[in-house]
A and B are shown apart, each in its own frame.
Chain A
């Protein structure tokens, strides 16, 4: 059955059962993966997956949803039947239930135009990237890594995945659109050993096209970061300025991302809850969510409700200006949704998620940040000990990097515990670097280097 017919069956059934408004999310994908470990240990995989989900936000604001990977007529009918049953039998659950009105479909101003479109430039079938190209790519990485083996013992494994997927979204008001996207994921795992010490290091890169993955650059930076992690343990103790390398800054942004979602904000799960309009960071901080960023890894033309993606200025000069909204949260406040209701598979309930969350670059170069520090730390790699506790406003990670002494990068150190209050750290961001790093972390955050003063290190 083709996707139009699958969606039509669901829509007609929903209409017949008065399940309105309802949204349908259909995802079809295939991918091919290669993995090489210990030289000759090879793994090859082909994946095909299709599935559909159905979702309603009925009268009292509760969300009900069903999903299935079985796209036969009977299974689709049964999925709609199940939704109807859940809609009718939701439990009381708790006191103080909301008495919201039904959420309407989005209007023409914010809704994407029906029809299909391509997202990335390359749309070959998943198999078209050949083994030869992959071998060539892995060999280039291997050659680069071999250069580092004279400094320390280094084992490696590589995996490369190419995925092509097509997402279709439809609703009971007649919207039906789809987009197609291609992704490459590279995972490089290194295990370094020196003087009886062993550490592992993971690098994950994503791209819409194979050519922009540079095997030599990826291997060289991973080998360098591994060598830093092999450094002796830090004896640091006290409060220091810390420069976050762009990758570490992107991780920081990624952990903070859920706090910008309106549902987290209103459920008081966000560190920003109750602070819309307030100065939540220093004036150096400007953050946008750019679901429509041209060529961005997280870019999608519309979300799981058919709302057009757009750029939202969340933080301007340190002031929290806006949040990310789906139709329900936007409807409650009488404002427009931002197109951030997202899911990565039909098996997940869509959630308000940042896409291409970006810490806007500043003017100060990394060298100039380093020059201004008498004694501090340059954070390169992080190991997530606790990460961020958004309920308790606490940040704790373990990392490795370089000491900064008298305005210069000095010896590498590892096992540094960085500890702070997230809200205070945001206020202490002194400077933001000029070059963005595009990360393969969830939501694909982008960040330049940043300098935070007063972080407790131990």
Chain B
């Protein structure tokens, strides 16, 4: 049975919207740990998911069995779940062919083992005979083909490609264990050359060594400068997630009821741009077949738009913003970010540092946690420095940033003109679904944040 016919049949049976999502993905993972054997793995999976909205709720059905019999069984379960005696019109017998149904415009691609990337990363790390306690490099390459058909007539296909490289090193110095980790990558047609991996290998060891000289500062309220690029992780977690329409609709966000009001300093303009060519992701369509485009979420401090999928858009803002994304065919879409960017301001970054008498410069942030309903967050600074008398000083160890979303956004008093994208895709988890996202921001200063060292 043709997909479009089946969706039409569901609409006749009372569905007000249904869609079909087919996915085929190939991945390759290669990892090495110094002086220990490596792990190399590649493979592919495929599957389809069918989502049906009715007045009494939402149903989602999916299978990895793409033989005619497997797809027929799924269709039968959908029909019978709604009406135990229901039948699939036009199909009388279970098809028996073992052939897999093909939804794809392009064939599978050969993914070669990224030999040079692994080799160069190790070469960079062990350059100049440095002795490490631990070294690890992992490269992940993922190619995803999707096809989306909806009851509203959308029929779109897209191929998405990602490469992610993580290098980690640990060493012992002055009796302390110091470690560092770097993530870089590429998406779509962007390239990732082995020299980048070599530089990552070298830099990750430098960063681990730097930590051995790191100091702790007493906790308290201090001005915090967030460096360009990766510092945007804080915006992603503390600002992006609470702007997702499912949290708004369930009133589990600090931004619920605040559309059109001032929520941040007037220096703050935040956009979600899935079409950013150098971003961590590049999406022409979201996973519901909606055309994507750049959306202004906060404009000069005023809340303008939420990130919505089809389901939540009707209840929150009217039209879907093209942010319905999912990890795979196994999950229904959720409102998610693509490339969340804080737009540049006017101030040169050197001036921001120079104007700060005593504070903290956070170059990179690590793991963090936000509670969207309460808006409180906590983040680890993985690479940070003391700022003294307008100059970047000694490296800091183990500092944490704590605060509330509202205060954080209102206390931004400087936005630099040095906008930078974080290199390659980062990964975002929500409700058990992990997807690639992009981050970007210039140097910014928050006039006061709670900083803790323990």
A interface with B by C-beta (< 8 Å): 1, 37-38, 40-51, 53, 57, 60-73, 75, 79, 82, 86, 89-98, 100, 155, 157, 191, 193, 197-200, 263, 266-269, 328, 347, 349, 383-387, 389, 391-394, 396, 398, 415, 417, 419, 456, 458
Contacts and interface: CB of A to CB of B under 8 A. Distances in A.
A67 B27 CA distance: 10
Contacts of B251: 155, 191
A91 B122 contact: no
Given A91-B119, A198-B373, A394-B398, 14 more contacts: A43-B60, A47-B63, A49-B47, A49-B63, A66-B41, A68-B44, A89-B113, A93-B119, A191-B250, A267-B33, A347-B27, A384-B369, A398-B378, A415-B376
A98 B219 contact: no
B133 to A, nearest CB: 5
Contacts of A93: 32, 38, 115, 118-119, 122
B39 interface: yes
Interface in B212-262: 219, 250-252
Contacts of A68: 43-45
Contact of B178 (A96, A100, A347, A392): A392
A243 B78 CA distance: 50
A252 to B, nearest CB: 17
A166 B338 CA distance: 36
Nearest to A49: B64
A199 B374 contact: yes
B454 A419 contact: yes
Nearest to A44: B59
B400 interface: yes
A268 B45 contact: no
Interface string B90-115: 00000000111000000000000111
Contacts of A82: 42-43
B153 interface: no
Contacts of A198: 371, 373-375
A48 B32 contact: no
Contacts of A65: 39-43
Contact of B77 (A46, A267, A398): A46
Contacts of A90: 38, 40, 113
B64 A69 contact: yes
Nearest to A94: B122
Give the most central of A49, A91, A263: most B CB within 10 Å.
Answer: A91
Contacts of A393: 177
B47 A92 contact: no
Given A70-B46, A417-B400, A91 B64 contact: no
Contact of A63 (B40, B61, B332): B40
Nearest to A91: B115
B452 to A, nearest CB: 6
Contact of B373 (A49, A70, A191, A385): A191
B407 to A, nearest CB: 14
A67 B39 contact: no
A100 B36 CA distance: 10
B86 to A, nearest CB: 15
B37 A62 contact: yes
B170 interface: yes
Contacts of B65: 48, 50, 71
Interface in B363-378: 366-369, 371-376, 378
B443 to A, nearest CB: 25
A100 B38 CA distance: 13
Among B67, B250, B330, chain A packs the most CB atoms within 10 A around the CB of B250
28 contacts: A1-B98, A37-B250, A43-B60, A44-B57, A49-B62, A53-B43, A62-B39, A63-B40, A66-B43, A67-B43, A68-B44, A68-B45, A70-B46, A70-B100, A71-B65, A89-B113, A90-B38, A90-B40, A93-B119, A98-B37, A198-B373, A269-B33, A349-B29, A383-B378, A394-B398, A417-B378, A417-B400, A458-B452
Contact of A197 (B43, B62, B374): B374
A385 B40 CA distance: 32
Given A42-B56, A51-B45, A67-B45, A62 B40 contact: yes
A96 B373 contact: no
A383 B369 contact: yes
Contact of A45 (B27, B45, B60): B60
Nearest to B108: A78
A43 B67 CA distance: 27
B371 A383 contact: yes
Interface of B: 27, 29-30, 32-47, 56-67, 70, 73-74, 77-78, 81, 98-100, 113-115, 118-119, 122, 126, 133-134, 136, 168, 170, 177-179, 219, 250-252, 330, 332, 366-369, 371-376, 378, 380, 398, 400, 452, 454
Contact of B61 (A41, A45, A385): A45
A155 B73 CA distance: 37
A232 B385 CA distance: 32
Given A44-B60, A72-B98, A419-B454, A49 B330 contact: yes
Contacts of A263: 36
Contacts of B179: 389, 391-392
Contact of B59 (A45, A328, A392): A45
A79 to B, nearest CB: 7
Contacts of B42: 65-66, 82, 86
Contacts of A46: 59-62, 74, 77-78, 81
A216 to B, nearest CB: 24
Contacts of B250: 37-38, 155, 157, 191
Contacts of A40: 57
Q: What 3 pairs across the A-B complex have the smallest Cβ distances?
A: A42-B57, A91-B115, A67-B43
A415 B369 CA distance: 12
B39 to A, nearest CB: 5
A98 to B, nearest CB: 5
A396 B400 CA distance: 10
A267 B134 contact: yes
* Candidate in A79, A200, A391 with the most chain B CB atoms within 10 angstroms: A391
A393 B447 CA distance: 33
B433 to A, nearest CB: 13
A288 to B, nearest CB: 27
Given A86-B40, A86-B113, A392-B178, A268 B170 contact: yes
Contact of B369 (A38, A66, A97, A385): A385
A440 to B, nearest CB: 13
A37 B198 CA distance: 49
B64 A51 contact: yes
A90 B98 CA distance: 33
A268 B134 CA distance: 6
Contacts of B56: 42
A458 B402 CA distance: 12
A79 B26 CA distance: 12
B60 to A, nearest CB: 4
B177 A75 contact: no
Contact of B170 (A48, A49, A92, A391): A391
A200 B43 contact: no
Contacts of A63: 37-41
A13 B105 CA distance: 30
Nearest to B55: A40
Nearest to B39: A63
Contacts of A73: 98
